Every structure is written in structure tokens, then in C-alpha cells.
Amino acid sequence: MIDLRVISVLLSHWRKHPFQLAMLLTGLFLASGLWTGVEAINTEARASYALAEAALAPPRFASIVSARTRTIPVETYTRLQTSGWRTSPIFEKRVRLRDRYIRVIGVDVLTYPAQDVFQDVTSQESVQGFLTRLIGKTGTLFADAPTAAFLTRNGVAGEILTSNSLPPKTVLGDFSALARLLPGSEADISGSGFSRLIVLENQPRDQVPLREFADVILAEPEDQAGTAELTDSFHLNLTAFGFLSFLVGLFVVYGIIALSFEQRRIVFRTLRLLGVSRRQLIASLSIELLVLATIGGILGVIGGYFLAALLLPDVAATLESLYRANVSGSLTFRWQWLVSGIAITLLGTALASASGFVETARSSILEEGGAYASRTRLFRLSRLQAILALALLATFAVLVVFGQGLVAGFAALACLLIGFALALPSLLNWIIAGVSTFARGPLAEWFLADARFVLPGLSVALMALLMAASANIGVSTMVGSFRTTFIDWLDKRLAAEVYLSTRSTDEAIAINEWLKPRVDAVLPIMNERVRLSGEPGDMYGVADHATYRRDWPLKASTEDAWDRVFAGDGVLINEQLSLRYDLAVGDTLSIEGNHALEIVGIYPDYGNPAVEAMIGIDLFDSWYPDTPRRRFVVRVDPGRSDEIIRGLQEAFGLPDANIANQTEVKQLSQRIFERTFVVTAALNVLTLGVAVFALLTSLVILATYRLPQLAPLWAMGMTRVQMAWFELLRALVLALLTGLIAIPVGLLLGWVLLAVINVEAFGWRLPFQTDPRDWVLLIAYSVLAALLAAAYPTLRLAQVSPSTLLKQASDAH
Amino acid sequence: MSAPLILKHVRKSFSTQDGPIDVLEDVTFSLEAGELLAITGESGSGKSTLLHIIGALETFDAGEIRYGDLELSSLSDTERAQFRRSMVGIIFQQYNLVPSLDVLANVRLHARLADREDGDWTRYLLDRLGLETLAGRYPEQLSGGQQQRVAIARTLAAKPGLILADEPTGNLDERSSGTVFELMSGLAEEAGISLIVVTHSNELAGRISRNLHLHAGRVA
């Protein structure tokens, strides 16, 4: 079936057209590169989550967690042990060291079930010797290689061994070692207790049932929502962008493959005439494309690796700021994304070449591949395209109205983008036809008629440009809305000048006394872990002060909301809780402990994945009398906040991590915000770049066919430079029209991102805000893209030799 | 190796919107191995369809076509491709050269596919057809006459038993067409290859000893 002689004839096409080959490989490279880059980032991040979860709670093991607070007191642990519960305690805390947050995990090495962490090092020595060293005087900590180096560099004494089974930015050790090596940790364990207790295997039968312990509950392995689940939406977002880039790249591939099939129709026919069977021809074409796609795919995977390595530090920063997830900033080569990159390239190539294969398989051996046949096919194709576009846009409407969940949201986005892209050639055709009726003069009439004539050849590239430009407007709208809302919200939410976290209740009392005569107000921040509408969340207690009454942003509220909150007669809830349980102002919120309060307001809470509620401090104290007051916000003249911070540090030795001034927090938040969108912006620009490349490809290819059409005009007295200007102008006009169509499509896309995707992914809805300056910029980009893409073919046309034109003019039929 | 060709009561019709049209009706004739035959007739008389049927490019509705021991109606699609590859050579008015291959590669193509490449024979053909100096050129760099000579060389180089030529000089001027026709028929005769030429030119047909005239799908 496979005949190398036939394949060599097919390959001769690419030898003769090296530019086409380069374009095809570049298209494949871009498509698979962007996809692989995104996949590599996702895989790396997920691998980090898996390591983190394995270290904290091995997958097979259930855990005992606190029913109300975030920690289990040491006394509870001891009671459980004496009641027959065999558990291994875990302590987890984020500690700030220099400019970095490190996750500290304390374990009891003798009972800790995730022994993989130690596996890398125990093979070197006896288990006995190792354990002695681990809990002995010197103390040993474990971390991944970069974290170990960072800790050593920053003066953490003692032995730090590297373990490949630990996630990045994490240090693990026995409680005794942690207490010695990381001062402050011990106080946390004795003061507040353990984060969780891992329930070990082979529990005794006569243990006291857990329900007799009021303050703890059992969390089965499947109940423990991990970072992977929390960050799903973020990764889905990245995947969607990767897919969009892939799709745009695929348009380039489709354009080149379609052209190569069209140009080789005579070759296919000749081969068939010379005795090559239809099946053999299809098989040989498949092998040819398989080889080219594999080469392009491998190149793409290599490119994707570098892209991912470039973007990963920003993604890691985003994930840390949004989800507190520790992701390695450096990339490890993984087979999964190599295979996935090549597989999706092959799949994409198969899709891009499907119509060519069908056409080749169907074509009769005696069929003339002339211009008429080609135009009939194009007409059929454009009609099919328009029908498909309508079907996709109808699906979009159905998904937006009736769809539920993030996947439905992204499917709606895909339908919207692809639907409009497919409708674009028909739209442009109608617009130009409409304008043509007003055209006066032979040149204007020719120009418009010619623009319609070349439209099929450029439509794929213009479709790619429309997709990239719409995505650009949509994402700019989302980011712009986000930025405006976020900064305003941040100003109101971070109204206080200084934020404090004390290390013990005694210290809290002393600091309060010290502060009172020096500042305007000291307001406690108190929270308790409770179930709100049945879901674990945080209940905050706030004091009656202008900080809340005047500054706290509310999306909806009753007129007397704050009066009722401070009177203990109403509750404020965050938007996540409102959207998740369809709660509105006036509804009643059920709160764990058989409490219920009327909702008097809903506040925006951007960046928080959890549900939250807020009540007056008096009611809070009566419901949760044991909650310690250890965190505070301080209101003071902004000019004096540095002085107060210095004073606190001198008087109480409060570390940097426990004190923050508003300016720093705002700057940090804004930095995190900007960094969060670095990846999106980068992918946005790359997608637009691929679209420019698609346009360049199409224009260069088109230029090779233009001479027979332009030569008669030259013969009729038009100069080469004039023809070149018309070619350029036509590309610019088509790009301009595409840019204009991209504006409503992009705005619709932005609306879906804000009203559907964001709500599904993060649980909050942003107000739709758009800046027309972005549109002007985008249109300018589109025209500039067309100018860049058209420059080379135009220049070539301006310099074409008269003898070539003469030959074309005399051969033109 | 050439073999006798026998056609008996061959019929062929095409269906159109206005109903079926009979293109060939009861065509019967035979050709000895190595014999040359010119088929003439007006436009629409069925000349090209007859040639396509003999070349296994099209099927026929009724009758029998036998080339040597092969009965064409019983061949599958793959066997028909094999028949074209190894037993016949077809020359069209459009030259059907592969634009991405140079002249030499185009000439060798059919012979390579048929596993019958003969370097001496190819060189001899290039020399006889005046293509030696053009061997490295691509089809787009050749005139119409030169392209047709390449197409003829390609067919002859594969040493088929039977050559079918459909208006092979239709795109050429009078002088070139005479030269090309002479070369094609002379070389076919020299190699002992049967040749059927479809032409509407009585002048060219007159250069071949045996003529068959088709009129409205029937042998006149």
C-alpha cells in the first residue's frame, strides 16, 4: 500500500515550494508550541499540587479536622490518643522569610505515613541511624533543592536534606526540629495546635466514637478538596487560551494544506492516470502529512517548553496569590505534554486536511481541476460555512441562556468565536457588495470586485485575525473591568492604615494598651470557622466604626444595613455565598450552631474562593466567646503609620511578617493583580502574532496567483507601483473591516467572560466596563498587522519584471 | 509486451438531467499487438470516451473488452490502477506533467512506478525527442510542444504494451504537431507498442495506415 516512489513525487511539491513548507511547519510549530506551552504549565502546576497533597494528607488516609476552627488543640489530640485513636499529627503554616512565603509542615516522623518524602535519603543509610539523626539534637529538615538552598542562604541552621517528593517552597521536618530551627513555630503548635490528624491504618476496635468529641470531625479522603480542585478554573482558563492559540495556528495549517492540495490536483490526477490507485494515493498523502505534522509537532513541543519556562514564574506567582498554591517556578520535562503536544498536532493536521482528503477521494480521475471547478467548490464551501456559523451561533445562545458550569461557559465562548469566524467571509462579501453599488468609476468598481474575488483566498487568514482580535477585545474588557473595580474595591476594603497579627493573647492585650493613646482606633479582626448555608466558611466579627460604615464596599444592602449588623439583627455576606446559594438581601442565612439571621447586605470579595459572612462584634462574642482577639486593624493619621510600626517593633519585637502598613499591602495586591494577567496578556499577544503570520502566509500565497489577474491591467496602462498600492490598500481595507466586526464580537466575548465564566470560576461578578480607546488601538493593530503582512508581497509586485508581466498578459485567457 | 486488443459490442451511456445519453453503441473492433490505429470523428462522437474505457479510466455498461488475457470489465478499482500502471500509457491533450518534478524525473516517473526503468532507453528517448538539454528544467519553463514531448517520452519510457493518445497535438501549432506526431508513432512502432490515437485531424490520421471513424457512438 505504501509506495515510496509515490511519496517522493508528493514530497517534490514541498521541495519546489520551500516557502510553503516553511509556512506549514511554522503553522504547526505555532499551533503545537502554544498548546504545549500551556499544557506544560498546567502539568507542572498539577504535579506540584499532587506532591503538596501527598505530603499533607496521603490520598488513602482520612483526616480528623477541627469542626469550628482551623486547628486542633494539643489537648484534643492527646484525648483522642488515649481514647484509642491512632493518628499522626500535622502542623502547617505559611511563614514569611525575606521576600518569600514558605510553607512549613511539621510532622511526627515516627508515625507520619507519607514516607516517600524520606525515601530519597534513607537509601543511603540505616533507618535507625536516619531516624536518630532526624529527631536528634542537630535536627534535620526536608525541602526540594531550590528551597533547601534558599533556607541555607538565609541562615536557617542545621541539616536540610533535599527530597524530590516534596512540593516547591515547602519545608518539612519533625516538630522538635522545626521548633529549634524555625523559631516561632513551637509557639504556634502549643498555642493553637495541629492543622489536622491523619487517621492511620489498623485502628483498634474499642476506640471511643469520634462523635463524642464535639470539636472535631472526620474528613474522608474524597471530602478533602485539594488545591487541584480549587485551581481547576484557572487551568481551564489557560487551557482555553492555549486552545484558542492552537486554533488560530491551525488556520494557518489549514490554509497551506488546502493550497497544497489545490496545487497538486494535477499531480494527483497524473499519478492516478499512471496507475496509482485511489487508496494508495490517500495512504501516501497521509504518510506525507503524518511526517510533516510530527516534525512540526516536535518543533512545537520544543518551542512550547521554552515558552512555558518563560511564563511559569508568573503563573507560579499568580497561583500563589490567588490560591496559596506553591508551584515550582522552574520546568521539568515531562513525557505527558510531549505526547499530548504531538497528538494534538496530528489531530489538528487531520482536521485541517480532512476536506482535502475527502475532495481527493471523491474526485474523478477524469475531472478537470480548472478554475470553474475550483470556484464551484468554493461556493459550496462558503454556503456550508455559513450554515455551520449559524448553527454555532444558535448553540452559543442556547448555552448562554440554559448552560450551567464552567465547561458550558467555555463551550459558549468557542461557539461564539468559531461561529463569527466562519460567518466572516459571508459578512465581508455582503459589506463589499453593498459598497459596490455606490462605487463610481472603473477603478473603484474594479477594486471592489477584485476584493470580492480574492476574498476566498484570504478568508482563512481573516478568520484567524477576527478570532485573535475579538479575543483581544474580550480579554481587555475583562481585565479593564477587573482593574477598575479591583482598585476601587481595594481602596475601600483596605481603609485602615496598619494591620497587625499578634503571637499570643497576652501580647495582644499589651499591644492594645500601648496603641490606644497613640492612635485613633484599634479594631479587632475576629473570625471563626463555621458552616454558612451548610458550607464551611468564615464568620467575621467587626466593631462599629466608620471604617466599615463609611468605607466598606457593598453591592446590595438595606438602607439600615450597618445599624442592623451592629445591633446584632442582620448579617452581611460575601458575593460568593450569595451566588452559590442564590441568597439575596432580605433572605435568611442559616449559620452553624442553629443560628439564623436576615441578610442585610452583600459585599464584593474579589480573590477569595471561600464563602464568608460578617456580624457585629457583640453578637460574635456572644456566639463564639472563646475566640481570641489576636488580629487588629489600626486607624491612625496616614502620615504617622510608619512611626507606629517602628514603635511596635521596638516595644514588642514584632516580626515583619506580623505587621503591614496599608500602602505596602495595596502595592503588593496591585503587583499581584498585574502579575496575574501577565500570562493572559502574553498569550493574547502571541495569538495576535499567529494571526498576523496567517495573514502574511495568505497574502504571499495569493501574490503567486495574482500576476495572471493583474497582468491585463498592466497591459491596459496601469503602472506596477499603482497595482502594488491597490494590493496594499485592499489588504488594509479587509483588515479594517475585520477589525470593525471584531469589536461587537469581542464585547460579546468580554460579557460572557464577566457574566458567565468569572461567576462560574470564581463566584463573583464584575461590572462590565469597556474603554473605546482599546477598540481604536485594536483596529490600529489589525491594520498594522495587515500592513506588515502585505508589505513583502506588495514590494515584490512593485518590482516584478515587465517581461514576466508580458508573459502573463499574453498567456491570460 | 504488447498484446492483442479486442472490443465486442461495447456500450456506454451517461445519465443527464434530460435522461440517459448513449455515447457508445455496439462498438466492435480489434487491434493486433504492435499495430497503430487512428480514431477520428466529430466532436461528441464518443472518441475520447472510447479511449478512456480502453484505458480503464471509465467503466462501460455492456460488451467485452479484452487485452491479451485480461477482461477489463472484471477488474476491481485497484486492478484497473495496476493495468494502467503496467500495461498502458496514456497521453492527453493537456500534458499532465508533475510541475514539481524536472523533465528527467517526469520522464522516469511512469517507468519507475511500473518497475521497468531502463536507463539506456530513457536516454535514447530524450535524445530522439530533443529533450536532452532540457532534462533539468521544470514544466513551467517549457513551451507547449516541449511539454508534450516530455509527456510522450514519459509514456514510452515505461514500455507499455499499448499507448492511448487523446488529441496529443491539439494544443500545438501545425508544424510542431506534425513533428510530435511523427516522433510518437515512429517510436511506438520501433518499440513494438500498439498505439491508438484519437484525433479530429484527417491530415494526422492519414499518416497512420489504419483508421477507424466514429459517428454518433458507432463505428462508421
A46 alpha carbon, distance to own chain's centre = 13
Mutate to test the interface with A, among B53, B113, B143, B198 (most CBs of A within 10 A): B113
pLDDT tens-digit map of A353-406: 998 898 888 887 776 554 445 556 666 777 888 899 999 999 999 998 888 877
- The C-alpha atoms of residue A48 and residue A501 are separated, in whole angstroms, by 29
Length of chain A: 813
Kindly report the nearest CA distance between residue B7 and chain A, in angstroms: 21
Q: Is A272 on the interface with B (CB under 8 A)?
A: yes
- DSSP conformational letter for A264: T
pLDDT > 70? residue A23: yes
Task: Decide if pLDDT at A223 tops 50.
Answer: no
In this prediction, residue A371 carries a pLDDT of: 45
- Would you state the pLDDT for residue A374? 59
How far, CA to CA in Å, does A435 sit from each of A255, A396, A444, A786?
28, 30, 10, 21
Residues A196 and A10 sit within 8 Å (Cβ to Cβ): no
| pLDDT band, residue A140 (cuts 50/70/90) | confident
> Are B24 and B217 in contact, with CB atoms under 8 Å apart?
yes
For residue B194, what pLDDT is reported? 94
Task: Return the higher-pLDDT residue of A654 and A657.
Answer: A654
Please determine, for residue A108, whether its predicted confidence score (pLDDT) is greater than 90: no
Nearest to B78 among A3, A269, A279 (CB): A279
- Give the three-class secondary structure for A278: helix
- Which residue is closest to A366 within chain B, CA to CA? B57
| A539 or A491: which leads in pLDDT | A539
Please return the burial class of B98, using the count of CB atoms within 10 Å of its CB with bins 0-12, 13-18 and 19+: buried
The whole-number average pLDDT for the span A300-317 is: 84
Residues of A with CB below 8 A from B90's CB?
A: 273
ipTM of predicted complex: 0.80
Give the pLDDT mean for B13-20.
83
- Give the model's confidence band at B145: pLDDT under 50 very low, under 70 low, under 90 confident, else very high: confident
Determine the Cα–Cα distance for residues A716 and A542; give it in Å rounded to an integer: 85
Among residues A775, A622, A788, A789, the alpha carbon closest in space to that of A702 is found at A789
Q: How many CB atoms lie within 10 A of CB B28?
A: 13
Q: Which residue of A has its CA nearest to B100?
A: A13
CA proximity to A10, closest of A292, A251, A254, A352: A292
For the stretch A339-370, what's the b/e string if a residue is b when 16 or more beta carbons lie within 10 angstroms of its beta carbon? ebbbebbbebbeebbebbbebbeebebeeebe
3-state secondary structure string, A568-613? Answer: CCCEEEEHHHHHHCCCCCCCEEEECCCEEEEEEEEECCCCCCCEEE
Q: Classify each residue of A9-45 as buried b or exposed e, where b means 16 or more C-beta atoms within 10 Å of its C-beta.
A: bbbbbbebbeebbebbbbbbbbbbbbbbbbbbbbbbb
Residue appearing with cell numbers 519510457? B157
Per-residue pLDDT at A372:
45
Question: Phi-psi bin for B9: left (phi > 0), alpha (psi -120 to 50), beta?
Answer: left
Grid cell 485573535 is found at: A468
Asked if residue B190 lies in contact with residue B16, where contact means CB atoms within 8 angstroms, the answer is no
pLDDT at position A126 is 52
Which chain A residues are closer than 8 Å to B75 by Cβ?
none
By the 8 A CB rule, do A172 and A49 touch?
A: no
pLDDT at A599 over 90: yes
**Cβ–Cβ below 8 Å for B96 and A270:** yes
Which of B58, B82, B100 lies at the smallest CB-CB distance from A275? B82
CA A416 to chain B, closest CA, distance in angstroms equals: 41
Look at strands B162-166 and B194-198 and give their pairing: parallel
Give the span between the Cα atoms of A428 and A416, in whole angstroms: 18
Tell whether A16 is within 8 A of chain B (Cβ): yes
Q: C-alpha A477: how far from its chain's center?
A: 16
Q: Is the dihedral of CA A252, A254, A257, A260 positive or negative?
A: negative
Sheet with B70-71: list strands edge to edge.
Answer: B19-31, B5-16, B62-67, B70-71
Q: Is residue A808 predicted with pLDDT exceeding 70? A: no
Q: Beta-carbon neighbour count of residue A799 at 10 Å?
A: 10
Beta partners for residue A602, in sequence order: A556, A573
For B78, which of A269, A270, A277 is closest by C-beta distance? A277
- Place A186 in a pLDDT band, splitting at 50, 70 and 90: very low
Give B-chain residues touching A365 at CB under 8 angstroms. 57
The C-alpha cell of A677 is what?
Answer: 494577567
Q: Which phi and psi (to 5°) does residue B35 adopt? A: -80, 150
Are the CB atoms for A170 and A102 separated by under 8 Å? yes
The residues facing B40 across adjacent strands are B213
Q: Which of A210-224, A693-707, B48-62 has the lowest mean pLDDT?
A: A210-224
User: How far is Cα A272 from Cα A364, in angstroms, rounded to an integer?
Assistant: 10
- Chosen for mutation from A6, A274, A705, A811 (greatest number of chain B CBs closer than 10 Å) is A274
DSSP 8-state class, residue A753: I
Q: How many CA atoms lie within 13 A of B116 on its CB side?
A: 19
CA distances from A537 to A475, A529, A613, B40 (A): 31, 6, 8, 94
Residues in chain B: 220
